[in-house]
């Protein structure tokens, strides 16, 4: 890092992934400011003394005030409408937050000369792919408005970068899990199972449970964001474990690490759900100076240890 601590503005910094990124940036002595409207995030996820702006990123005047006050060197943009189901039910809202508000942030980044933008994209931009693992060069065929709005935001970032020489890193996360993830609504399967295990409830499995996902622990995602801001290269990278784990196997691993035995309740398979998902992480390994450190077992153990310490 430069001698002068760089200032990082994190949108969605009170959320699950964002708050872990903020913790790490503070540990590394970056100056940090956060924008979040607390629609899903929590103020309690952040230190009391952080520069916190409770605003909506769709509100350009408020966003511009923050850029003018904070003068960030780096923008990490995570704030988003994150529900696939809600994107189908309410495409205007999804497009407003994920596309139009991203343009607000890009306009401000241009005006206030931000050096680097890191954007949280998703495996959802690929949609269904016949060949796995999916490379960054694969065709983008999103199956939801969420995937489409992330894809559009990516394209806006690339074009802003070309037109105005903004440096950027787009990170396409696979299925992220870890402490502070919401276990309500359309949450990650891991946080739902852990919540069910700790509450001694049966585990809900949709379909036969043989569907696979590529799970990545939140601390590995944090490390990828830090690598992105410490790397001058512009580009798009999958951030994943590059492995596939079946939902049934996730559940038995959770039973093992929580030392519980859970009853299974089967539900019909969810319509339109992709059967298998795996993102190649070779490009990030090669160019981003990043490597995932957590296997599923190690990530789950770390997650439970931290949750227990928090409650103690």
* Binding residues for ligand NAD (CB under 6 A): 12, 14-18, 35-41, 56-58, 78-80, 82, 97, 101, 120, 122, 173, 175-176, 188
User: Least Å distance between CB 157 and ligand NAD?
Assistant: 13
CB closer to ligand NAD out of 93 and 295: 93
Q: State how far the Cα of 111 lies from the Cα of 143, in Å rounded to an integer.
A: 34
Q: State how far the Cα of 217 lies from the Cα of 174, in Å rounded to an integer.
A: 10
Q: State how far the Cα of 122 lies from the Cα of 125, in Å rounded to an integer.
A: 6
User: Least Å distance between CB 281 and ligand NAD?
Assistant: 14
Neighbours of 198 (CB within 10 A): 14
CB closer to ligand NAD out of 167 and 174: 174
User: Least Å distance between CB 4 and ligand NAD?
Assistant: 28
Q: Which of 30, 126, 146, 217 is catalytic?
A: 146
Nearest in space to 87 (alpha carbons), one of 34, 50, 124: 124
CB closer to ligand NAD out of 82 and 203: 82
- HSE (side-chain half, CA atoms, 13 Å) at 59: 11
- Contact criterion met (CB below 8 Å) for 52 and 46: yes
- Contact criterion met (CB below 8 Å) for 52 and 29: no
Q: What is the CA radius of gyration of the chain?
A: 19
Catalytic site residue 146? yes
User: Least Å distance between CB 285 and ligand NAD?
Assistant: 19
- Contact criterion met (CB below 8 Å) for 51 and 9: no
CB closer to ligand NAD out of 35 and 222: 35
User: Least Å distance between CB 124 and ligand NAD?
Assistant: 7
User: DSSP letter at 153?
Assistant: H
Q: How many residues does the chain have?
A: 312
User: Least Å distance between CB 79 and ligand NAD?
Assistant: 4
Nearest in space to 290 (alpha carbons), one of 239, 242, 244, 243: 239
CB closer to ligand NAD out of 122 and 278: 122
- Contact criterion met (CB below 8 Å) for 66 and 9: yes
3-class secondary structure, 149? helix
Query: Locate tokens 């870890």: which residue?
Result: 178
User: DSSP letter at 80?
Assistant: -
User: DSSP letter at 113?
Assistant: T
| Residues classed as catalytic | 146
């Amino acid at each position: 890092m430069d001698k002068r601590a760089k200032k990082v503005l994190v949108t969605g910094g009170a959320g699950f992934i964002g708050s872990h990124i903020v913790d790490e940036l503070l540990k590394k002595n970056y100056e940090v400011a956060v924008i979040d409207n607390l629609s899903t995030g929590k103020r309690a996820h952040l230190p009391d003394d952080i520069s916190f702006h409770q605003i909506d990123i769709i509100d350009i005047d408020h966003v511009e005030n923050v850029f003018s006050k904070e003068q960030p060197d780096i923008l990490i943009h995570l704030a988003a409408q994150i529900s696939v189901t809600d994107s189908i039910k309410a495409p205007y809202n999804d497009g407003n937050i994920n596309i139009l508000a991203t343009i607000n942030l890009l306009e401000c980044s241009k005006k206030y000369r931000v050096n680097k933008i890191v954007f949280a994209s998703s495996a959802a931009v690929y949609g269904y792919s016949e060949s796995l693992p999916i490379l960054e060069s694969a065709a983008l065929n999103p199956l939801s408005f969420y995937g489409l709005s992330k894809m559009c935001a990516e394209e806006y970032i690339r074009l802003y970068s070309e037109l105005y020489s903004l440096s950027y890193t787009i990170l396409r996360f696979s299925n992220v899990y870890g402490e502070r993830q919401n276990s309500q609504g359309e949450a990650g399967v891991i946080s739902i199972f852990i919540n069910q295990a700790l509450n001694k409830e049966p585990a809900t499995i949709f379909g036969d449970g043989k569907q696979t996902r590529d799970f990545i622990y939140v601390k590995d995602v944090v490390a990828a964001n830090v690598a992105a801001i410490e790397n001058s290269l512009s580009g798009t990278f999958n951030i994943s474990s590059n492995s596939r784990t079946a939902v049934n196997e996730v559940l038995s691993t959770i039973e093992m690490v929580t030392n519980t035995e859970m009853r299974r309740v089967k539900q019909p398979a969810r319509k339109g759900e992709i059967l298998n998902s795996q993102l190649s992480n070779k490009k990030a390994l090669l160019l981003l100076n990043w490597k995932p450190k957590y296997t599923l077992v190690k990530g789950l153990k770390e997650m439970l240890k931290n949750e227990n310490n928090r409650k103690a």
